A and B are shown apart, each in its own frame.
Chain A
């Protein structure tokens, strides 16, 4: 499934679903099977059981540098098994292919979803980009 379809799931309204060809066909099929009995079938109204999702505040992405030459990239792991080994291979790749790039490895503190203000302050002060390995 591509990103557009996936994102549409976030705001997909059951009303839209109800109007979709898929459900309409399903309904038609059921009606056909019931035959003349459908005329007398009672309809109910039931409540939507969903809670209230929070609105999404869009965050503009950070402007990009024209190139990475001479820049410092922080390679950050959130601590999942194998992340350190993976980021190590990335630093080896940079040394081989883009030697003017400096890489700095860091393990983010705390659990995988925790903030690490100290680390991010350091990156803001000393780095120009981040590659972050995210897992669990």
Chain B
């Protein structure tokens, strides 16, 4: 822009601010820091911040800001040119135990034991695809950072480390090709999910029965884990304070939510067919949001022959943020019951849920995400937010912006009619077959 600027950041984001400025080409940017937090402070408390010192430099804050805008530039600050970034040598040689420690200490792992990615194992992994080792698979950034790019061989290293078998590799490549990281930088500690559809589920023996979401099958466990390792190694994600700022973190990030759909037990079309793919195509679909919760205890769930799963879901969603969508993970028994209740298509269910999951405008406005992400959109005239923000406080509006906010996938072992639901938004579906 060419205008002298003094960026202000709270001290909680010091490392992030300095590193990101450097990554974007201004390593000497004159960043000033304030105490933390600013959010939740009264005007009087904030005034004290402004009149006090920068907690990082110790200098009076306002003097530092004025200096940032007026002190002449140094030679370093005037520099231009290109700086390349090194990730170190292409291989490491040591004993197996030392290498395990080395990979862990260098941030290449999720802090659990890995299979060491020797040349031999990486070559074996790459036999799982017809794509060449040096072919660029995609680019990934775990947030608002310049993206890293990566090739088939680099993705194979993470797949080996995760414990994947070569036949799982096309799925890992399909995920890598989307550039979506499962370790996102936000302070919100986002969770990520994938749905796997097509004959590959049975070929690779995914578990979509009892314990479908848990540690009971190798493809479910290792492909989920691989996404996290790729996000660290290929996308430079997951560095606390730099590329990961989740205040509490999310347990779901270890293996992510891996859902192989129980297509045969579903009364509806499979998820990928809904997205326009053919039944026999192998597809992986990715989601992002806050997490997954059990549905069986919400209102409407009581033990009689008329469990109203639609009311149950609607009650459950009242604590979700409408900023993300709702992904119902329905045990086949739940899906069968919903069909019996009259929802012979998914769209009918979503329409009902959209109309019957409601909130008052007052409650809506009091939510954090509404204020942060949707109010600015309302100001730009985007619907439905523009209309919602004009309504009186006691008006009743939908909890979610549109029927397309909802999705449903069928998975589970039918030991009981229990659903789970994710406060998750659909992202993208990609072909696994393309990566075979």
Chain A residues with CB under 8 Å of chain B are: 1, 3, 6-7, 9-18, 23, 26-27, 30, 41-68, 73, 79-83, 85-86, 88-90, 92-93, 97-98, 107, 109-113, 120, 123-124, 127-136
Contact = CB atoms under 8 A, between A and B. Distances in A.
Nearest to B91: A45
Interface residues of B, number: 107
Chain B binding surface, main DSSP class: mixed
Contact of B83 (A56, A88, A107, A113): A56
Contact of B94 (A15, A43, A62, A130): A43
Interface string B220-232: 0000000001000
Given A14-B87, A44-B93, 18 more contacts: A3-B18, A44-B94, A45-B92, A46-B92, A46-B103, A48-B89, A49-B161, A49-B234, A50-B154, A53-B146, A54-B146, A55-B85, A56-B84, A81-B372, A83-B38, A93-B51, A130-B6, A135-B13
User: Which 3 pairs from chain A and chain B are nearest by CB?
Assistant: A51-B150, A14-B88, A113-B144
Contacts of A16: 88
Interface stretch (B67-75, B270-278, B285-293, B390-398): B67-75
Contact of B108 (A49, A81, A89, A127): A49
Contact of B92 (A14, A83, A133, A134): A14
A135 B10 contact: yes
Contacts of B203: none
B46 A89 contact: yes
Contacts of A65: 4, 69-70
B87 A68 contact: no
B5 A130 contact: yes
Interface in B38-90: 38-41, 43, 46-47, 49-51, 62, 65-66, 69-73, 77-90
Contact of A50 (B2, B82, B87): B87
A24 B349 CA distance: 62
Contact of B37 (A26, A56, A82): A82
B28 interface: yes
Nearest to A50: B87
A129 B69 contact: yes
B186 A62 contact: no
Interface stretch (B116-124, B189-197, B350-358, B404-412): B116-124
Interface stretch (B19-27, B206-214, B308-316, B329-337): B19-27
Nearest to B1: A120
Contact of A51 (B90, B97, B146, B236): B236
A13 B85 CA distance: 9
Interface string B108-150: 1000000011110010000000000000000010011011111
A133 B49 CA distance: 13
Nearest to B28: A61
Given A58-B80, A60-B77, A128-B4, A86 B161 contact: no
Given A51-B154, A82-B37, A129-B3, A6 B19 contact: yes
Given A64-B69, A123-B1, A56 B376 contact: no
Contacts of B140: 51
A82 B106 contact: no
B15 interface: yes
Contacts of B116: 44, 46
A82 B78 contact: no
Given A44-B94, A86-B38, A52 B73 contact: no
A129 B68 CA distance: 10
A9 B8 CA distance: 23
Contacts of B186: 136
Nearest to B10: A135
Contacts of B41: 82, 85
A133 B85 CA distance: 29
B233 A51 contact: yes
A72 to B, nearest CB: 11
Nearest to B67: A64
B98 A53 contact: no
Most chain B C-beta atoms within 10 Å of own C-beta, residue among A16, A49, A88, A132: A49
A61 B373 contact: no
B79 A124 contact: no
Most chain B C-beta atoms within 10 Å of own C-beta, residue among A23, A55, A61, A129: A61
Contact of A111 (B19, B122, B373, B379): B373
A6 B49 contact: no
Contacts of B106: 14, 17
B96 interface: yes
Contact of A82 (B39, B93, B149): B39
Nearest to A54: B146
Contacts of B47: 89, 92
Nearest to B109: A49
B370 to A, nearest CB: 12
Nearest to B376: A79
Contacts of A12: 88
Given A65-B4, A92-B47, A47 B148 contact: no
